[in-house]
Amino acid sequence: MNLPKRKKNIFLMLTALCVLLSITLCGCYTFEINGVKSTHVNEDGDLIVTYFNGRKENAGPVKDDDKDIDGGDAYNNITINSQGGSDLSLATAKGLMSTVRIISKYASSLSQSAGVIYKLDKSAGDAYILTNYHAVANSENDISDNISIFIYGSEINNLAISAEYVGGSMYYDIAILKIENSDILKSSDAIAVKVADADNIFVGESAIAIGNPEGYGLSATCGIISVDSENINITVEDRTEVSFRVMRIDTAINHGNSGGGLYNTKGELIGIVNAKTSDTSIENIAFAIPISTACAVADSIIDHPDHDTLQRAMLGVVVTTADSRAVYDAESGRTTIVEKVSVSQISSGFIAEGILAEGDILKTISIGDREKQITRRFHLIDFMLTARLGDTVDLKIERNGEETTVSFVITEDCIVSY
């Protein structure tokens, strides 16, 4: 990524109550979910949206036949439609039911942020909350041991839900929290997020951010995806410089939006908000961790409960973009970027040594019955986040004009805490 000549201060969006707040009026499109007052699931299993003007809309059926925390919550099957209302308002109503307010307390301070209900077992009152790492870590990089969760519509002190830190990664800015046996969750209409198809997220798509701006409580803003993938460098609390792959959005983002969900017009999760550009001459340049990265990191943390950091399988290669072009699909009306991804460096002592070679062009990667075409550099990196100990990774490559497949078995030597 070519860094701009003028240095921009990119900062994380965590709200500290001790900060003196200032309010600046701006002309961006900010809305409070088109006047939505409340949402609930009726006796027929439909999500009912009630507006402040008294009007009610049916956002679609809720199917309640699967409440396994390992597989999410089947409330994800809510159907978003535009009958009698906008897709934006209905999608936002669904997103609100999956987004939570987070208050993290430390010895001498507290901070406010947001998160999303990633997996939910309603009958047991159990849930995994997906948020930013910096949302639950202070300036000394200490993890809060006093974390309170509030669901939408229940943001008062006596309805706080206690959560514990499961694990996280400063280098991906992702953390997982766990709620157990919450009576508030059991009796609520909260739902787990439905995750969007990462291959169907495009520049120009609506991007609804739901978070806890300035600690004022859960609310929504709307914009579009400006760039589908780029890298930014951020200096985190302990002065470590970290590079994140992000989507760029023009959605209005403020302190406290950190960890909140970014949703499309179907109410599906497309990213986790984590940063914005701070400059008096710049408006509405903000960033979100793409859902393919966020979910892969979250799943790895959940799958490794004995570790409080990300356990990542490494091949020991550096890949580069050998060629890149834009492709316009007239049928869908969408433009995508297609890259030729090749190996530029192989690290000594890693599993790829002696199997891959510099200049190899990467075509596909597969683990079991899961296969991914490598048409962007990040495809390999994100896919490897899903690799587990004992998995066989197959890479189809092109070398000297001929295609071949090479294989690796993930061993303990491949696993790195990240």
Averaged pLDDT in 10-residue chunks for the chain of 418 residues: 44 41 25 49 68 66 46 40 65 96 93 97 97 91 94 95 96 97 97 95 96 95 96 79 93 94 96 88 90 97 92 95 95 94 95 96 97 97 96 97 96 92
Cα dist from 182 to 105, 106, 126, 399, whole Å:
20, 23, 7, 55
Label residues 216-241 b or e (16+ Cβ within 10 Å = b): eebbbbbbebbebbeebebebeeeee
Separation CA 399–CA 393 (nearest Å) = 18
Residue type for position 2 = N
Class of domain 9-18+28-308: mainly beta
Q: What topology does CATH give the domain 311-417?
A: Pdz3 Domain (2.30.42)
Residue 7 pLDDT = 42
Backbone angles phi, psi at 237, to 5 degrees: -55, -40
**pLDDT score at 282:** 79
| Structure confidence at residue 210 (pLDDT) | 98
Q: Where are the domains of the chain?
A: 9-18+28-308, 311-417
Question: pLDDT value at position 116?
Answer: 98
Whole-number pLDDT of residue 52 = 55
* Parallel/antiparallel/unpaired status of strands 286-290 and 241-249: antiparallel
pLDDT at residue 280, as a whole number = 74
* Residue 238 backbone dihedrals phi, psi, to 5 degrees: -90, 25
pLDDT at 208: 97
Strand intervals (E) in 236-333? 241-249, 261-263, 269-278, 286-290, 311-313, 317-329
